[in-house]
Structure 1
Amino acid sequence: MSLIVELRQYTLHPGARDTLIDLFEREFVTGQEAAGITMGGRFRDLDDPDRFVWLRGFPDMEARERALHAFYGGPVWQAHRTRANATMVDSDDVLLLRGPGFAAPNARDAEGPVVVTVCHPHDTTAFADHFRRHLHPALTDAGTPPLAVHRSEHAENTFPALPVRTGEDVLLWFTAGKAPALPDLSAHLEAAPRQIRLEPVRGPRQA
């Protein structure tokens, strides 16, 4: 099922990541689900100790607006926002996408990290066709099949209190395990693909 998906990348104060993750897992997962938000994977960036990455989804933009108003105006966020915001340097690195969502693999299913490969095509439609015809089969044959593919959603941000990145076209996908080896894609992309290595969050630390 295709959703409106936010890929959110937070830059945190040094040493604050586990504080935010514990609070997030104890309070914000169920709190957002209660507001009608589909929660996706939550991750530590393996190459940046002050980076937290997560996803959430909505059936459509209207549902997104309603759910965000419900959560950020509701009791869970109001009770914990000061502590959460104190961990953050920047929370505005957000890609608004359309895709199937992405839940972190179970520990028993994942060998190595989760990797998100982010591409900025010259022509997103043409690159999506190239991806479907050539790159997806090649990645699958190499043992790194794409688990979810997302494209930029250019609908107006109807909840401007939370900014999203605009003015760019993105196609991205997730893989489990080692970072996939990619062929030369310079004819299709504005810049080299970015591969972000992620460790799935397994829940809050136990007291």
Structure 2
Amino acid sequence: MNRIVEIRTYTLKPGSTELFHRIMQEQSLPMLRAAGTDVVAARPSMHAPDSYLLIRAYQSLAQRGRSQDDFYTSPAWLQGPREAVMACIEHYTTAVIEADDALIGSLRQAPVPA
């Protein structure tokens, strides 16, 4: 069965990639995973020093919408890393596609140990 994959690319403010990556790994990703989000990959992009990639998988478009609404309005996010994350971002672009488990598996990044 196909799932919905969201590919988000961030253009970060010059020099903020290391800070953004640290906040993502230490705060944002654990929060997303605790909220039930399947984080496929989150890492700096290879093509530009101030570019970052976040890939998430969902069961459906509706589940994606509910999940993101719940997460991005939660006190944990709003009172947690949101301000620091947003301060690093110049802009971002999102693409949403269907993908099977084989494609998702090939994109999957091994989790960083806690």
TM-score (norm. length: structure 1): 0.48
Q: Give the gaps of 5 or more residues in structure 1.
A: 107-201
| Deviation of 1:84 (Å) | 0.4
Kindly indicate whether residue 83 of structure 2 is the aligned counterpart of residue 82 of structure 1. Answer: yes
- Return the offset for 1:42: 1.6
Q: Aligned-pair distance for 1:44?
A: 1.6
Q: Quote the residue 1:34 is aligned against.
A: 34
Alignment partner, residue 161 of structure 1 = none
Cα drift, residue 76 of structure 1: 2.8
SS in 2 for 1:33: helix
In the TM superposition, what whole-angstrom CA distance separates every residue of 1:162-203 from its partner, at most 9, and x where no partner exists? xxxxxxxxxxxxxxxxxxxxxxxxxxxxxxxxxxxxxxxx74
Structure 2 gaps, min length 5: none
Q: Which residue of structure 2 lines up, in the alignment, with residue 72 of structure 1? A: 72
In 1, Cα distance between equivalents of 2:28 and 2:61? 21
Q: How many Å separate the matches in 1 of 2:82 and 2:75?
A: 10
TM-score when normalising by structure 2: 0.84
Q: C-alpha separation between the residues in 2 aligned to 1:50 and 1:25?
A: 17
Shift of 1:46: 2.1
Deviation beyond 6 Å, 4+ runs, structure 1: none
Compare relative contact order (CA 8 Å, sep 6+) and give the higher one, 1 or 2. 2
**Structure 1 residue 15 displacement after superposition:** 0.8
**Larger Cα-atom Rg:** 1
Looking at structure 2, the residues matched to 76 and 21 of structure 1 have their Cα atoms a distance apart, in angstroms, of 19
**Aligned ranges for residues 1-207 of structure 1 at < 5 Å?**
1-78=1-78, 79-91=80-92, 93-99=93-99, 100=101, 101=104, 102-104=107-109, 203=112
Q: Deviations over 1:133-153 (max 9, x none)?
A: xxxxxxxxxxxxxxxxxxxxx
User: 1:80, CA displacement in angstroms?
Assistant: 1.4
SS at match of 1:86: helix
